[in-house]
Amino acid sequence: MSDVNRKWVYLIVLSIIWGTSYILIKKGLEGFTPIQLGSVRIVITSVVLLTIG
């Protein structure tokens, strides 16, 4: 895959992830309080970053 095509794929994947986060937050607030949801997001992000880094 060429470098230009790879950048487009990255942009599309990032847009999908970024766009669905608002929908998932709205759905998550139906079952969790804002503090709980924020804590879950921070824990998940920490685990992902610790795994990658």
Alpha-carbon span 42 to 46, nearest angstrom: 6
pTM of the model: 0.60
How many Cα atoms within 13 Å fall on the side-chain side of residue 29? 6
* pLDDT over 70, % of the chain: 100
pLDDT for 53 equals 84
The 10s digit of each residue's pLDDT in 11-25 is: 999 999 899 988 989
Determine the Cα angle at 46 with ends 52 and 20, to 5°: 90
Alpha-carbon span 4 to 8, nearest angstrom: 6
Q: Is the pLDDT of residue 38 over 90?
A: yes
Which residue ranges make up each domain of the chain?
3-52
**Where residue 35 falls among pLDDT bands split at 50, 70, 90?**
very high
Measured on CA atoms in the order 2, 8, 11, 16, is the torsion positive or negative? negative
